[in-house]
């Protein structure tokens, strides 16, 4: 089948090449249409066999799963607190349609029971909730006066969702525009509706847009036009005989086209408004929703295949073609003639491209049979203009029709990918209707959902840009075509109970299991008889039995060995679309201009000028002079293809006295750097503190040893958020917080260089026994204080993310002895858990508290609450593996530092080190990410530093670095495919700067900087070319690097070879 598919695509490609005028399928020759539809049917058939076991982690990390409802279908309170009737109220009260006389007057009473319902969403594990706003509840007269009770309700609902970590996805109109506007000018039949709908959207963006990022303008715009104005089966119920039988007014021949036209204009007007007024501040997304069945030929006859293409153009292309290409499909304009309004050049320009995403409501397949006789009618509606007949089963229907239909989701996503340039897509409705009062054991729905989600996964793996999936529906509400007789909900609502109690169905349990990470088939659902949902056991290694520690660490080591063999060829497109690749540097290491334009010394300046550490007398006074050469450096980033640049802000450049006065020159420099990056499409990722606190604060109160630093650091962060946060979305508070404390206050080998004997030998002051714990405690308090500030003052406006960075080697047992395995776990708890356990669980690991005793400060309940959960992401700096050997004797020392508290010894090689140790160490990024995934609930992660040092003046042909990078990125890809929530990777470093433990003698950069040249010229190394080739889409091995720019890199030149 795969070979057959490839052959079909090859034939399609050949035909395209021969037909230079073929731009879109609407103008393709009939044979091409036939081939494309045959191919999509073949692909759909293939998918059936591929839908087997899968888990939530098989989907991209930013993919969102949710469920949905609509206001009239679940809210109730139809006439409460200022709401006026919508056209749907009028429609059901007139007993129109197929709702069996049911109305939404009470419905599920979601209006009063939203808190209870959100709790059920939490129990299910929903990541997002899609709901609609009742226009007539918010603005009872359709325009003008805003109903404060309606405003309060939607604010409360949104806040309740966000408080529980559930994304609100909001639809503005779901078949329910105000009846008052229908009475006044005919609703969507009048262009006045464009103005009023835009004003309504403006209010929603203004009132809710600081918290809502995903907006859908109109639900099922195509069905709204057809059902509302052709057959009359949806509000406002307009039609004319013989096309609709229940209407008292309407014109099925012209009104659907007019209403559809005005909906497109209204949608695009709203998008234009959002981009002009809100996009830069709120950074949200606006899309349009379509009812999107898949269409398949009724038979294999060519006429039915061609008719199927017409059906797709009418149902989907009618709206999507103007949004993508600026005009209606040719077949619609031809067959509808003057009945369909013409888009003016201005309208076409306004509509084209006016989508951030497309929302699809997909349930099943329609089978299409050619019916050319329809075109001979004197009066035609849309169905007649299509010249088709629609069936629910094909000519040769099979018994496994449900499975075939689930594969149709794959086919429609493939179609949109190939015909409409693969737009971002959300499946906003998908579900199966069943008899309402049948049973809570809704096995057919479970099988349906399982099959459709599997088909969706296949489509995503095949390149579909689908971003989310919403099950219809969360509750059994009022259904358009079945009233309360048909149920789609995960939860049954007992309408005979005055409290309208909710009960989870089997599908709710299945979906919950899936969302919580279990790989299950429909027949494997586990339901606790006494509880609504399956409870999950979460063990941290800190509290796990010792044998579990042994098993976990052994398993992760085994996984690391397996990864070595799995790292083969890969390319940039193998990573998630929103994954970011970059490189980094830090202020003191590259900026130079140490005493220029108002900057004052940092503790790093003082440290190197005192010739402490391993700097060989080197300083950052000039460094790479990025302060003056930032434009040149950004151009080099562009040349490589960097997607992001991670840099730090020099606190003492921005606020020379550590607090108070802001240095305008410092402000200007960082604004210029950020703007230069953004101008070239490079994301700025900013670190607030990279070992360089103002020396003035160190002199005044001892820096991180004083809680005064928390206040001053928070004030400094406030300035940064205020001045740069409109353009910077990614903030890291502290670089290598654990190393600041250990190396700065225990061994004394980094600023401020404090230690005491025998733990550090070069310090004049300090206390290695207690100061690391005090500094670490204050670092955590400062970080959480900054996060609290950001969420209180900036998050709703800037929509950014704040995280903490830790130095994160992998720890592996020195030998296979049980003692070394246990010691390895202690190393994890002290190096990583010290900070990460506090951030996730609100306290230090038990072993850290036990061994450090009273020397480590205890968190107060208030501090614990402040710290717990105070991160949007965790950043890791990973370079290599430490090998850990048990050393219980250190616990008997009278005075202990942190290493002694760990009761271990650290080595750079294991007892039985293999000859290919570098390859093994690069693979250890995989178990590190696995460890964090399993122990700390898989937080979002950025690998913010990863690189390999080489001798600075050796050669530009840095092959060992290339091999290291390639191996690490490969193992990172393996970790992501295994479910790690890693969001980005930054090479350390962009250029050869001042390094901690080697000054200018050790180099990590992609670019060599000639320090003997007054211009400090930069030269790309081989690693720069390899990374550039990778970022630009080539899948290459280290020995396949092609250097094409002779003027940029030539290792044979004397200038290069001398350095």
Rounded average pLDDT per 10-residue block, the chain, 1059 residues: 31 29 33 47 43 83 95 95 95 74 92 96 96 98 96 96 95 97 97 97 97 97 94 92 84 96 98 96 96 92 92 96 96 95 96 97 92 92 92 64 66 94 96 84 91 94 96 94 90 93 93 82 47 28 38 49 52 93 97 95 92 71 95 96 97 97 97 96 97 96 96 97 96 96 90 88 87 96 97 92 96 88 93 95 94 95 94 95 91 90 86 50 81 92 94 85 93 93 96 88 93 94 95 69 39 31
Confidence at residue 108, expressed as pLDDT on a 0 to 100 scale: 95
CA distance 530 to 612: 65
Confidence at residue 615, expressed as pLDDT on a 0 to 100 scale: 57
Angle, in degrees to the nearest 10, between helices 664-679 and 626-640:
10
Domain with CATH 3.20.20.80 in the chain: 63-292+351-367+394-524, 549-575+583-1013
Confidence at residue 48, expressed as pLDDT on a 0 to 100 scale: 38
Confidence at residue 99, expressed as pLDDT on a 0 to 100 scale: 61
Q: Count CB-CB contacts under 10 A for residue 574.
A: 14
Q: Are strands 434-435 and 486-487 parallel, antiparallel or unpaired?
A: antiparallel
Confidence at residue 405, expressed as pLDDT on a 0 to 100 scale: 64
Give domain 63-292+351-367+394-524's CATH superfamily. Glycosidases (3.20.20.80)
CA distance 866 to 855: 22
Question: Which uninterrupted H or E stretch holds 1019?
Answer: strand 1018-1020
Instruction: Name which of 467, 357, 477, 469 is nearest 406 in CA terms.
Output: 469
Confidence at residue 1041, expressed as pLDDT on a 0 to 100 scale: 52
Q: Which two tokens stand for residue 250?
A: 């309407």
Confidence at residue 757, expressed as pLDDT on a 0 to 100 scale: 85
Give domain 549-575+583-1013's CATH superfamily. Glycosidases (3.20.20.80)
CA distances from 657 to 477, 664, 724 (A): 62, 13, 20
Alpha carbon 504 to its chain's center:
29
Q: Which two tokens stand for residue 64?
A: 């969102």
Helices (H), 430-545: 443-461, 506-515
Helices (H), 395-542: 401-419, 443-461, 506-515
Confidence at residue 26, expressed as pLDDT on a 0 to 100 scale: 34
Active site residues: 220, 429
Say how many CA atoms lie within 13 Å of 815 toward its Cβ. Answer: 10
Per-residue pLDDT reduced to its tens digit, 870-882:
999 999 999 989 9
- Angle (CA) 973 979 981, round 5°: 80
| Residue length of the chain | 1059
Q: Count CB-CB contacts under 10 A for residue 941.
A: 27
Confidence at residue 265, expressed as pLDDT on a 0 to 100 scale: 98
């Amino acid at each position: 089948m795969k070979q057959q598919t490839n052959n079909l695509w090859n034939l399609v490609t050949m035909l395209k090449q021969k037909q230079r005028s073929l731009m879109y399928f609407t103008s393709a020759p009939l044979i091409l249409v036939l081939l494309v539809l045959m191919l999509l049917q073949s692909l759909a058939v293939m998918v059936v066999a591929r839908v087997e076991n899968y888990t939530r982690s098989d989907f991209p990390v930013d993919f969102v799963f949710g469920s949905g409802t609509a206001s009239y279908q679940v809210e109730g309170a139809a006439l409460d607190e200022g709401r006026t009737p919508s056209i749907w109220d009028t429609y059901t009260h007139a007993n129109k349609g197929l709702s069996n006389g049911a109305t939404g007057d009470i419905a599920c009473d979601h209006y009063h029971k939203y808190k209870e319902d959100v709790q059920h969403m939490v129990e299910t594990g929903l990541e997002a909730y899609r709901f609609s706003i009742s226009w007539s509840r918010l603005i009872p007269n359709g325009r003008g006066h805003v109903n404060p009770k309606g405003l309060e309700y939607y604010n409360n609902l949104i806040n309740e969702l966000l408080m529980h970590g559930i994304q609100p996805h909001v639809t503005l109109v779901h078949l329910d525009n105000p009846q008052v506007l229908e009475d006044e000018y005919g609703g969507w039949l009048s262009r006045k509706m464009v103005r009023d709908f835009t004003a309504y959207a403006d209010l929603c963006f203004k009132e809710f847009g600081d918290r809502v990022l995903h907006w859908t303008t109109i639900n099922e715009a195509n069905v709204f036009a057809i059902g509302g104005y052709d057959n009359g089966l949806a509000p406002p119920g307009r039609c004319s005989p013989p096309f609709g039988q229940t209407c008292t007014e309407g014109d099925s021949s012209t009104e659907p086209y007019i209403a559809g036209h005005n909906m497109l204009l209204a949608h695009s007007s709203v998008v234009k408004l959002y981009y002009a007024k809100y996009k830069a501040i709120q950074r949200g997304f606006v899309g349009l929703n379509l009812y999107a069945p898949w269409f398949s030929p009724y038979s294999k006859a060519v006429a039915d295949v061609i008719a199927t293409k017409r059906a797709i153009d009418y149902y989907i292309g009618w709206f999507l073609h103007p949004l993508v290409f600026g005009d209606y499909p040719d077949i619609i304009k031809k067959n509808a003639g003057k009945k369909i309004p013409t888009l003016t050049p201005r309208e076409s320009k306004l509509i084209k491209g006016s989508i951030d995403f497309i929302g699809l409501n997909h349930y099943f397949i329609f089978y299409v049979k050619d019916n050319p006789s329809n075109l001979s009618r004197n009066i035609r509606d849309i169905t007649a203009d299509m010249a088709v007949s629609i069936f629910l089963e094909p000519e040769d229907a099979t018994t496994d029709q449900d499975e075939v239909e689930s594969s149709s989701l794959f086919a429609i996503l493939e179609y949109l990918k190939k015909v409409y340039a693969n737009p971002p897509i959300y499946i906003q409705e998908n579900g199966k209707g069943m008899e309402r009062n049948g049973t809570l054991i809704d096995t057919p729905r479970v099988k349906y959902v399982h099959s459709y989600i599997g088909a969706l996964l296949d489509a995503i793996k095949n390149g579909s840009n689908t971003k989310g999936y919403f099950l219809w529906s969360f509750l059994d509400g009022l259904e358009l075509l079945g009233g309360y007789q048909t149920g789609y909900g995960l939860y049954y609502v007992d309408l005979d109970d005055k409290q309208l109690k909710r009960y989870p169905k089997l599908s709710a349990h299945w979906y919950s299991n899936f969302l919580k990470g279990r790989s299950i088939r429909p027949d494997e659902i586990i339901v606790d008889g006494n509880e609504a949902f399956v409870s999950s056991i979460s063990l941290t290694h800190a509290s796990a039995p010792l044998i579990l520690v042994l098993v976990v660490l052994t398993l992760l080591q085994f996984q690391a060995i397996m990864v070595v063999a799995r790292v083969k060829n890969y390319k940039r497109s193998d990573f998630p679309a929103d994954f970011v690749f970059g490189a980094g540097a830090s202020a003191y290491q590259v900026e130079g201009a140490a005493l220029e334009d108002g900057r004052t010394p940092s503790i790093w300046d003082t440290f190197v000028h005192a010739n402490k550490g391993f700097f060989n007398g080197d300083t950052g006074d000039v460094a790479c002079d990025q302060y003056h050469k930032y434009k040149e450096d950004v151009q080099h980033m562009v040349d490589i293809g960097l997607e992001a640049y991670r840099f730090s802000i020099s606190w003492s450049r921005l606020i020379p006295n550590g607090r108070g006065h802001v240095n305008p020159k410092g402000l200007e420099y960082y604004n210029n750097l950020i703007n230069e990056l953004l101008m070239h499409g490079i994301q700025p990722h900013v670190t607030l503190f990279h070992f360089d606190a103002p020396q003035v604060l160190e002199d005044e109160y001892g820096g991180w040893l004083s809680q005064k630093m928390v206040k001053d650091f928070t004030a400094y962060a406030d300035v940064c958020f205020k001045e740069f946060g409109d353009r910077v979305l990614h903030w890291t508070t502290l670089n290598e917080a654990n190393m600041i404390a250990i190396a700065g206050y225990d061994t004394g080998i980094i600023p401020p260089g404090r230690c005491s004997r025998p733990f550090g030998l070069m310090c004049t002051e300090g206390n290695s026994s207690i100061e690391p714990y005090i500094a670490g405690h204050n670092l955590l308090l400062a970080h959480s204080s900054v996060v609290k500030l950001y969420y209180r003052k900036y998050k709703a406006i800037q929509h950014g993310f704040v995280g903490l960075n830790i130095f994160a080697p992998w720890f592996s047992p020195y030998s296979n002895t049980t003692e070394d395995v246990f010691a390895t776990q202690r190393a994890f708890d002290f190096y990583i858990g010290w900070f990460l356990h506090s951030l996730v669980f609100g306290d230090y690991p038990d072993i850290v508290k036990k061994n450090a005793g009273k020397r480590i400060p205890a968190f107060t309940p208030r501090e614990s609450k402040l710290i717990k959960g105070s991160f949007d992401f965790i950043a890791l700096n990973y370079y290599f593996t430490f090998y850990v050997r048990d050393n219980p004797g250190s616990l008997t020392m009278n005075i202990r530092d942190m290493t002694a508290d760990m009761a271990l010894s650290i080595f750079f090689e294991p007892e039985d080190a293999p000859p290919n140790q570098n390859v093994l160490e690069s693979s250890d990024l995989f178990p590190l990410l696995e460890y964090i995934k399993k122990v700390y609930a898989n937080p979002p992660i950025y690998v913010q530093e990863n690189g390999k040092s080489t001798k600075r003046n050796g050669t530009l042909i840095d092959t060992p670095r290339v091999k290291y990078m390639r191996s690490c990125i490969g193992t990172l890809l393996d970790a992501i495919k295994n479910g790690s929530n890693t969001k980005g990777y930054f090479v350390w470093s962009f250029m050869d700067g001042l390094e901690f433990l080697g000054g200018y003698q050790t180099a990590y950069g992609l670019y060599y900087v000639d320090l003997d040249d007054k211009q400090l010229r930069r030269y790309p190394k081989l690693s720069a070319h390899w990374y550039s080739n990778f970022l630009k889409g080539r899948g290459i091995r280290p020995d396949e690097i092609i250097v094409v720019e002779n003027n940029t890199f030539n290792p044979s030149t004397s200038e290069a070879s001398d350095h």
